[in-house]
Structure 1
Amino acid sequence: MTSPHDPVPFEPGAESDSIDLLTAALRRDAADLEVYARVLGGTLAEALPPGSVSVERKRGMADRLAGREGRVERVEVFLGEQRLVLDLAGGHPKGEVCKEVRGVVLSRRPVALDEWVRELAVAVAARARSDARARAALERLVRGA
């Protein structure tokens, strides 16, 4: 039996379990899209190399006056030749998985939120197998810390 404080297994033999755990963690806050976007933007930006995560926000007058960052409208994650885009504008999440080579998008595939999260989990788990900093950040995400 595992406890919530056990490390996330990112060994090759446990790949399917790792991806399932990561998918569940990435999906955990999806009911509240604003919280979900903040978690994605913060945790992924910490786990991945600089420039791999882009977050676009919309700031209204009330946000500016209150000194708030504004609402997250779009999250883009760049991992190798894959670009994962989550558009949150209008309160209805729209996912897109793109293959991009040297800045040129070769293909775009619209996906539902669940499939987007699964694609993201697979790509990030692959990154975590070779990057200790990414592995540590993802373990905190899975534990909910």
Structure 2
Amino acid sequence: MSTENLPEPAPGDDAVSAELIAASLRADTADLEVYARVLSTSLIETLPPGAVKLERKRSLADRAAGREGRVESVDVSLGEQRMTLRLEKHGPVGEICKEVRGIVLSRQKVGLDVWIETLSAAIAETARDNARARAILQRFVLGD
């Protein structure tokens, strides 16, 4: 993802802010198929194992060529939040769920911007609690 228009972190600020994360996540949303592929790869590399699940659709050509197929949805679970982004024909559809021990207590459909803001806040919280996640996230956001 491109980092040329991202805000600079404050001097001495070792935590990556939710705003900086959101700017990174918004950087390449023009082509949603490419965005979903880049986003899913970035999230899988950045977040704890098992936090990101992908749903892919494989065409006959994908199967014949041994490709994974196109990302149809990205599902991220952090703490008690589950954030799902589905790429549908009319555009992206986000969903934010509060989930406790596998039981969904609330579910809200949201637009892409709200989904990114919620995901960014959850990632920032995870980074505050986990030194390894913080280091990986700083490399993702800042390109270090």
With normalisation by structure 2, the TM-score equals: 0.85
For the aligned residue pairs, the C-alpha RMSD in angstroms reads 2.1
C-alpha displacement of 1:105: 0.7
SS of residue in 2 equivalent to 1:88 = strand
Q: Does residue 48 in structure 1 map to residue 44 in structure 2?
A: no
Q: What residue in structure 2 maps to residue 136 of structure 1?
A: 135
The structure with the largest helix share of the pair is 1
Deviating more after overlay: 114-123 vs 91-100? 91-100
* Alpha carbons 2:46, 2:140 under 8 Å: kept: no
Q: What residue in structure 1 maps to residue 18 of structure 2?
A: 19
Separation of aligned partners in 1, 2:14 and 2:52: 21
Distance 1:133 1:56, change over 3 A: same
Consecutive unaligned residues in structure 1, runs of 5 or more: none
Q: What residue in structure 2 maps to residue 62 of structure 1?
A: 61
State the Cα deviation string for residues 12-45 of structure 1 (Å, max 9, x = none). xxx7xx1111100011111121222122222211
Separation of aligned partners in 1, 2:115 and 2:83: 7
* Alpha carbons 1:7, 1:139 under 8 Å: kept: no
State the Cα deviation string for residues 55-104 of structure 1 (Å, max 9, x = none). 11000001111111100000000011100000113261000100011111
Separation of aligned partners in 2, 1:114 and 1:127: 20
SS of residue in 2 equivalent to 1:30 = coil
Deviating more after overlay: 120-129 vs 27-36? 27-36
With normalisation by structure 1, the TM-score equals: 0.84
C-alpha displacement of 1:46: 1.9
C-alpha displacement of 1:121: 0.3
The one-letter code of the counterpart of 2:72 is E
Q: What residue in structure 1 maps to residue 125 of structure 2?
A: 126
C-alpha displacement of 1:127: 0.5
Consecutive unaligned residues in structure 2, runs of 5 or more: 1-5
C-alpha displacement of 1:7: 6.9
The one-letter code of the counterpart of 1:59 is R
Q: What residue in structure 2 maps to residue 107 of structure 1?
A: 106
Structure 1 segments of 4 or more deviating over 2 A? Answer: 6-11
SS of residue in 2 equivalent to 1:106 = strand
Equivalent pairs: percent with the same residue? 58
Q: Does residue 88 in structure 1 map to residue 84 in structure 2?
A: no
